[in-house]
Amino acid sequence: MNGRPFILVLEEGQNLVKNEFWRKKIDNFIMQIRRKNGLIIFVTPDAKYFRSETDSIDKQTVTKIYLASDQVKDEDHENLTVAEREWLRKLNPKEHKFLIRRGRESVRACFDLSSDNPDEDLSDFIPVLSSNDVGVALMDQIIERLGTDDPAVWVPVFMQEAKAKNTHNLKAVR
């Protein structure tokens, strides 16, 4: 946090806010992040964690992105309209649609990286953009094998091997 732009991703954030130590850190840090030229991405499968353990996440995050879920609970999504909640419940995750909400305004969007044209298909980037234990282990193996953590060197190898090993279950999506 030296003034240079940065992004902090709190993957599985619901586990962090359950722990008192991390909850205090998040509460303190979230108040400073914009002043420090950063942004925070809080990833959780359950929206109740925006409010239940700490309210600073809900109060300090201006923009929220909601993905498809047939488990959308009204009490956990009070800031959404009835129509928005219903839309999220009815979405098919394979359609790659989501809701972006900022204040009282929202927009429905689609982020499908696949294409019928192989030259335009960007789904190979999904393992780089999305993390899971298998992908992280593969990344660590490749970096160790290549002897460098230079993304220009390891990312192309990672993308190729992740696709070959289907680390992100992309064959099931297509």
How far is it, in rounded angstroms, from Cα 14 to Cα 11?
A: 8
Averages of pLDDT over each 10 residues, the chain, 174 residues: 84 83 84 83 74 67 81 76 90 84 90 72 79 89 96 94 85 54
Domain count, the chain: 3
DSSP state of 91: -
Residue bearing tokens 């044209």: 117
Q: Which domain holds residue 155?
A: 123-173
Six token digits for residue 110: 């689609």
Choosing from 61, 77, 92, the residue where a domain stops is 61
Q: How far, in Å, CA of 171 to CA of 174, rounded?
A: 6
pLDDT of residue 55: 67
Res 66: pLDDT: 85
Q: 22 with 35, same domain?
A: yes
- Provide the pLDDT for residue 14: 81
Any residues with CB less than 8 A from the CB of 173 and at least 6 apart, and which? 94, 114, 123
Instruction: For residues 3 and 51, state if they share a domain.
Output: yes
* pLDDT (0 to 100) of residue 107: 93
* Residue 167, pLDDT score: 86
DSSP assignment of 110-164, as one string?
Answer: E-----SSTTT--GGGHHHHS--HHHHHHHHHHHHHHT---HHHHHHHHHHHHHH
**Residue 118 is assigned to a structural domain of this protein:** no
